[in-house]
Chains A and B, each alone.
Chain A
Amino acid sequence: MIWVIDTLNGIAFGMLLFLLAAGLSLIYGLMKILNLTHGSFYLVGGYIGLTVMQRTGSFVLALIVAALAIGLIGAVIERFFLRRFHLDELPQTLLTFGFLFIFADLSLWIWGGDPIMITQPQIFAASVPMGDYAYPLYRLFLIVVGLVIAGALWWFQEHTRLGTMLRAGVDDAEIARALGINVSLLFTLVFAAGAALAAIGGVLAGPVLSLYPGADFDTLILAFVVVIVGGLGSLRGALAGALLVGLLDNFGKSFFPQFALFTVFVPMAIILVVRPTGLFGRR
């Protein structure tokens, strides 16, 4: 039974990681921006969801509002700030690092410093009995939502015109531009979509992981690990990396609790040695 619980846990956690890593990976793949503000998108998105949830009691509305708001913020940051330093990695990274701090202090100011949990939707509040233990229904919901979003993203990338443009942009932005693809618009759209995914991750994680000052940094590190393991710039890599990290982390903590701090980082180091580009990375 413990095996089942650990596996489900690993997948549920992996799905949250996927939502974070997908945006981070796509943004890097397309624009070569190492977006450190991604942690803020997650945390502020979660906080916005929290406020909507408190005001209206609707979890769905919380997800939508958070995604739209953070998507808009992402678009603004890309258009008016990052655009000025196109392909200039150091200023870009520093700029996103600066935004990380600004958002951290703003959220501390608005939402305070005590850890807060988003109330989970009432229908998923129960637990399913499982042997000596029980399993929270909300986590099963997380798995389903994660799979649906992953499927939607895959379909979008493979079967829509915009997705084709995106893949072309990732492969070679210059040639794509020469072929008449509006890369500029694509950049903004992808940045906004990545930010919105992180916000959705924040809202979905809120009832499980809680929101607190510093969650932005914590999740950012995990998202980077996933992206490094899975390979930068690939959705498939983000999904595989997220599931692998989620499962390894859970089984590692369960069977080798004394190495809890390393369950995520040791596999990353090993994969980097064996495949420096990550599982599905190119070049």
Chain B
Amino acid sequence: MTIRKTMPYGATAAPDADERPARRRVLCAITTASAVLLTLGASCVAAQAADAIKIGVLLPLSGNFAANGQQALTGIKMYFDEVGHMAAGHKLDVIVEDTQGKPDVAVTKARKEVERDGAQVLTGIISSGVALAVNDFSRQNKIPLVLSGDAGVDEITMPGPLANPYLVRTSQNGRTVAAAAAEWAYNKKGWRKVVTLGSDYAGGVDTNVSFAQAFCKLGGRVIQAEWPPVNTADFGPYLTSIDRSADALVTFTPGADGLRLGQQYAQFGLKGKLPVLDIYAGIAYEPNLKQLGDAVLGVYSSLFYTPMLKTPENERFVAEFKKRTGMLPANEGPNGYVGAHAIVDAINAVHGDLSDKLKFMAALKAVKFNSPKGEISLDKYGQVIQTMYIREVQKVDGELANVPIASYPNVDQFWPFTPADFEQFKYSWKDEKGSLTDCAKLLAKK
């Protein structure tokens, strides 16, 4: 692909191409400011439209994550439509590719978007595996990546070997949603002993360890940790072996597991006897609510969003999202929307000149705006700082909904710890799957 960029006689095309937009902008500014000739002004617009900024979207539109991908895409399109596909006088071309939720496919599609279509920014991405692969691609090729989908792997935005100066993540990470759950459980509910039940894969381990760590720091304890495999058909054996002296059951079960657990928890007679706190809302996922019916009433969940937020930004967002899809947004819709918003704000901040990529990244990290999720800003590592909500499933006008009952604004990725704490922890979360009940080990320092 480097061949294409090289001009005859060894001269490269890059400097010339990069100067052109700036020069043209100055020209246009002069002509439009003088406002003498309308026709000249019009030709400027046409000239600018010619060098559109290309944005590559990578989402799973087929395969197991297709429904999530479609929601994210709706969110992304909604924001670009809102700004008329224009930023800093440049047209925004959005190129969409299907990752099928597979890391190898995602990298191939990322390469296609960058090298063939000329994408200058990549966005989207659902699943941590895909995020790790595309993060690598972005770092090696110095391509700005605005990770706006559900991909929680913590390390890519933390100091360490996976850190990438060309990455920002406006969606979430694994830790924070769990930390907010721990804080609320300990301080608002007064729970001291809980049982955790988390899907047994990297994301589940990360989330549950994060919960246990934060809960231990406050003084609580996990007394039993259950790890059903992903796609557990029947939670019966897990539900019936729960230590009933616990104050609550803390769960992390995305996908079809959440739907089944929600139903079986009620069927096995635990509802009303043992409260459930559902990290990431795998049970209380919006499309599940109607199906689960009263079984899910009273389930607490922790997430960075709920469609029930009564802010002007969110009410407008929900109305438009419903109009386009006929559904309530869950988490992917607002995430995609916020990612697109960050990209547009950063393009405006650099006046449409993306040639200095690190300058563009600095502009991305400096964005600050109000969104359907609440106030959004980024830390110096590129990870979003946002509000965490504790929600409870209640009946609102006869329909089940996740009503926010507590919120924690400006939560950063390390909360309630600091970056220094993480440098001192003796074990990484990967070594602690078997030690959830052991607070001393979870908080051990080097």
**Residues of chain A at the chain B interface (Cβ within 8 Å):** 2, 5-6, 9, 13, 105, 108, 112-117, 119, 127, 129-130, 132-136, 138, 208-210, 212-215, 218, 249-251, 253-254, 257-258, 260-261
Contacts and interface: CB of A to CB of B under 8 A. Distances in A.
A9 B237 contact: yes
Contacts of B267: 127, 134-136, 138
Given A112-B67, A115-B256, A212-B255, A250 B237 contact: yes
Given A113-B64, A134-B268, A261 B234 contact: no
Contacts of A212: 64, 255-256
Q: 3 closest A-B pairs (Cβ-Cβ)?
A: A134-B269, A113-B67, A115-B256
B94 to A, nearest CB: 22
Interface string B215-241: 000000000001111011110111111
A152 B292 CA distance: 34
A2 B241 contact: yes
Contact of B227 (A9, A138, A258): A258
Interface of B: 62-68, 70, 200, 226-229, 231-234, 236-241, 244, 255-256, 258-260, 263-264, 267-270, 287-288, 291-292, 434
A257 B241 contact: yes
Given A5-B236, A250-B234, A251-B237, 12 more contacts: A2-B240, A5-B240, A6-B240, A108-B62, A115-B288, A135-B267, A218-B231, A250-B236, A250-B237, A254-B237, A254-B241, A261-B200
Given A134-B268, A135-B268, A260 B228 contact: yes
Contacts of A249: 234
A120 to B, nearest CB: 9
Contacts of A127: 267-269
Q: Most chain-A CB neighbours within 10 Å: which of B62, B264, B268, B292?
A: B268
A249 B259 CA distance: 21
Contact of B240 (A116, A129, A133, A215): A133
Contacts of B434: 258
A121 to B, nearest CB: 14
A210 B262 CA distance: 11
A205 to B, nearest CB: 8
B234 A210 contact: no
16 contacts: A5-B236, A6-B237, A9-B234, A108-B62, A112-B66, A116-B291, A117-B291, A136-B264, A210-B256, A212-B64, A212-B255, A253-B228, A253-B238, A257-B227, A258-B434, A260-B228
A117 B263 contact: yes
A13 B200 CA distance: 21
Contact of A213 (B64, B227, B236, B258): B64
B260 to A, nearest CB: 6
A258 B287 CA distance: 31
Nearest to A116: B291
A51 to B, nearest CB: 15
Contact of B269 (A105, A129, A254, A257): A129
Contacts of B263: 117
Contacts of A257: 226-228, 237-238, 241
A132 B245 CA distance: 12
A212 B236 CA distance: 20
A214 B240 CA distance: 27
Contacts of B228: 253, 257, 260
Contacts of B259: 115, 117, 210
B236 to A, nearest CB: 4
A215 B260 CA distance: 13
A109 B236 CA distance: 32
A114 B67 contact: yes
A133 B292 CA distance: 19
Contacts of A253: 228, 237-238
Contacts of A112: 66-67
A190 B244 CA distance: 49
B238 to A, nearest CB: 7
Contact of B244 (A5, A9, A113, A132): A132
Given A208-B234, A209-B233, A253-B238, A113 B227 contact: no
A161 to B, nearest CB: 38
Contacts of A132: 244, 269
A215 B263 CA distance: 18
Q: Most chain-A CB neighbours within 10 Å: which of B62, B70, B269, B291?
A: B269
Nearest to A257: B226
A119 B292 CA distance: 9
A209 B257 CA distance: 9
A268 to B, nearest CB: 16
Contact of B200 (A210, A250, A260): A260
B240 A254 contact: yes
A113 B226 contact: no
B24 to A, nearest CB: 44
Contacts of B239: 133
A13 B233 CA distance: 9
